[in-house]
Amino acid sequence: MADMNNNKPRGSGGENRERKPSFGGNSERKFGSKPSFGGERSASGERKPYAGGSKPAFRGEKPSFGGDRPRFDGEKRAERGDKPAYGERKPVFGGNGERKFGDKPGFGGNRAGNRPGFGSPRGNGRPMGDRKPIQGKTVKPHQQEGLPARRLALEVIREVTEKGKFIHLVMDEKLRNCTLPLIDRRLAARLAYDTIENQLYLDHALAQIMAKPDCDIKLKNVLRLGACQILLEDRIPESAACNTAVALCKELEMEGLAGVCNGVLRNLVRQKEELQWPDPAENPVRALSVRHSVPEWLVEKLLADWGDEAIALMSVHSHDSYITVRPNLLKLDDAAFEAFLNEKVWEHEPGKVAHAWRIRNMAEIAHDAGFVGGKFSIQSESSMMAAMAVEPKKGMQILDCCAAPGGKSCLMAELMGGSGRVQAWELHEHRTDLIAAQVKRLGLENVRPMTRDASVSRPDLEGMMDAVLLDAPCSGLGVMADKPDVKYRVTPESVEEIVHTQRQLLDAVAPYVKKGGTLVYSTCSVLKEENVRQAEAFLARHPEFELAKLPQSIPEAFRQHEDVGLQLLPSRDGVEGFYICRFKRKRI
């Protein structure tokens, strides 16, 4: 059961999940409204480059709900976008008036941040791959404008919806290999992510316009991209959305359907104010499902687990264009790292967790000499707290069961001052190589990357570890706002299988903890059956363990919500959705 329903394999790690870019707006958000995206645009409706240039996307530890990710030098991607002052609620969303359910303000805003990397070298403005319209099909100037960005966005959308690939992987690859200028890269990334994130919403709207909604998937994806611009983007001319969609149809050798595409989108422009949306009073689950593009079964599960908070979980977006970095504690203390950051053009401020800084206005950070030289790492604050929950001390023997690409292992090794040993297990050899690359870059000698299946018991290790960290495979729904395709991949059956795997892993690794030692269990999910109920069931099966409080290294602002473990909620805590639970093995 290495890979289940596109979940990350057993033995893979799970931290530093990607956050999405910032959204604008100044009014209180109403139920049924979508955020209005800001960002300065040219007269043609395209967004102007932001000062500070582009930045690459970075990911964190394990992929949420399956799939391996491309890394920069084996490292992780970062997350987030632009956030208001710390301690405040997330930014309110666009529009100033009352909105009816189903009305969406246009989307916009800086989709840079930790959307897939915008840090590739600038191109010369050529369309990606020097692609040209089909021979004999003349594209008018007003159609050509902005077409390369739409072409790239459509290629990403098709890879995700037609081939089942992961959006962050596809987008990274496309942006890394294209020669588009920064403004087109940002537009392509925003349109691709918005279209995937709002897929159910867009399909509901298109179904009211089309005589036969169940059309060819290639045409459907062109229409989704066009509808995204018409319904969700308030600064893209509707004529540009229609004209470029027709041009894309012709490029896909669907000349015969170009007229259909044009007719559907122009009818959508004319009828968008008359579109009908599910009534929240009559069918609240269906209404929430369409409004937030979350499958109905998942809406029901989130409502059962979180009540009113579920609406915030479904509607929360990553509103920041920052990434979180921390110093290599064997090379720099916090003061020295602050001085290092002061020499950069990056904007920076302390994060909510010790040793964490949130930085903005960075470009190609993976190529920064300090990063390459091992002075700092990129790691989310939720991931850092999972490692801190172990409370590493000098000389300890620690097992990180699901470690790739090694961020938590490295942080624990640094907190131990380079002493003791961290065994970093990973199921697949190529992911073990990611851990080794990070260990080498940071110059750590007390981390031992190993290819091991953590679900297979090792009797020779029983009672040998001071601490075990199990950051288990999970649904990844704690970061579904950052990775919009995950909510369509997760199924009731896959969640059931994941819960079974988590239980197997807990039972397999618990005997390695010596008496008086620590076991930390974490996930990047918000489903209670993966988290608090999993922890309670473990305690019922293993009376030799007891629940332990999290250490004070985790800020009180988070620990105040601790009960049976700590559930971090992006809507409440402003960090990635994570669950962290600490157990102690009794000495008797």
pLDDT band at 422 (very low <50, low <70, confident <90, very high): very high
> Minimal CA–CA distance to 221: which of 255, 191, 184?
191
Task: Say which amino acid occupies 423.
Answer: Q
**Cis peptide before 405, with omega less than 30 degrees from 0?**
yes
- For residue 127, the model assigns a pLDDT of 37
Query: Which token pair is 77?
Result: 């991607």
Query: Which token pair is 511?
Result: 């005997």
Contact partners, residue 163, CB within 8 Å, separation at least 6: none
pLDDT band at 488 (very low <50, low <70, confident <90, very high): very high
- For residue 363, the model assigns a pLDDT of 66
Q: State the average pLDDT for the chain.
A: 81
3-state secondary structure of 453: coil
**DSSP letter assigned to residue 460:** G
Residue 76 has pLDDT above 70, yes or no: no
Structure-model confidence comparison of residues 203 and 128, the more confident one: 203
Contact partners, residue 408, CB within 8 Å, separation at least 6: 13, 15, 61, 383, 384, 386, 387, 400, 469, 471
Query: What's the predicted TM-score (pTM) here?
Result: 0.74
Q: Kindly state the average pLDDT of the residues 112-129.
A: 37
pLDDT band at 428 (very low <50, low <70, confident <90, very high): very high
Structure-model confidence comparison of residues 96 and 223, the more confident one: 223
Cα–Cα distance, 581 to 534 (Å, whole number): 10
Cα–Cα distance, 529 to 498 (Å, whole number): 10
3-state secondary structure of 100: coil
Query: Which token pair is 414?
Result: 């640094």
pLDDT band at 265 (very low <50, low <70, confident <90, very high): very high
Residue 374 has pLDDT above 70, yes or no: yes
- For residue 85, the model assigns a pLDDT of 41
Q: Is 261 a catalytic residue?
A: no
Q: Kindly state the average pLDDT of the residues 481-509.
A: 95
CA separation, residue 13 to residues 166, 255, 321, 353, 380 (Å): 17, 46, 24, 20, 13
CA angle, 267 as apex, 266 and 268 as ends, to 5°? 90
Per residue in 171-206, pLDDT (tens digit) is 888 988 888 988 898 899 999 999 999 999 999 999
Structure-model confidence comparison of residues 451 and 319, the more confident one: 451
- For residue 172, the model assigns a pLDDT of 84
413-424: b or e for each residue (b if 16 or more CB lie within 10 Å)?
bbbbeeebbbbb
Q: Which of 4-18, 96-110, 202-216 has the highest mean pLDDT?
A: 202-216
pLDDT band at 435 (very low <50, low <70, confident <90, very high): very high
Query: Which token pair is 296?
Result: 């109905």
Cα–Cα distance, 498 to 504 (Å, whole number): 10
Sign of CA dihedral 119, 124, 129, 135: positive
Helix (H) or strand (E) holding 50: none
Cα–Cα distance, 222 to 255 (Å, whole number): 13
Q: Kindly state the average pLDDT of the residues 269-289.
A: 96
- For residue 318, the model assigns a pLDDT of 57
Contact partners, residue 284, CB within 8 Å, separation at least 6: none
- For residue 144, the model assigns a pLDDT of 61
- For residue 108, the model assigns a pLDDT of 38
- For residue 213, the model assigns a pLDDT of 78
pLDDT band at 102 (very low <50, low <70, confident <90, very high): very low
Residue with tokens 């197997």: 504
Task: Out of 242, 410, 474, 524, pick the active-site residue.
Answer: 524
Contact partners, residue 550, CB within 8 Å, separation at least 6: 389, 559, 562, 566, 580, 582
Q: Which of 59-73, 406-420, 441-455, 570-584 has the lowest mean pLDDT?
A: 59-73
- For residue 320, the model assigns a pLDDT of 55
Q: Kindly state the average pLDDT of the residues 423-431.
A: 96
- For residue 479, the model assigns a pLDDT of 86
CA separation, residue 204 to residues 116, 186, 242, 276 (Å): 28, 26, 19, 9
Cα–Cα distance, 130 to 201 (Å, whole number): 33
Structure-model confidence comparison of residues 140 and 49, the more confident one: 140
pLDDT band at 507 (very low <50, low <70, confident <90, very high): very high
pLDDT band at 211 (very low <50, low <70, confident <90, very high): confident
pLDDT band at 214 (very low <50, low <70, confident <90, very high): confident
Q: Kindly state the average pLDDT of the residues 120-149.
A: 48
Structure-model confidence comparison of residues 478 and 55, the more confident one: 478
Residue with tokens 């470029």: 244
- For residue 99, the model assigns a pLDDT of 41
Where do the domains of the chain lie, and which CATH numbers do they carry? 32-56+99-276 (1.10.940.10), 281-317 (no CATH), 323-364 (no CATH), 381-585 (3.40.50.150)
Contact 8, 473 (CB under 8 A): yes
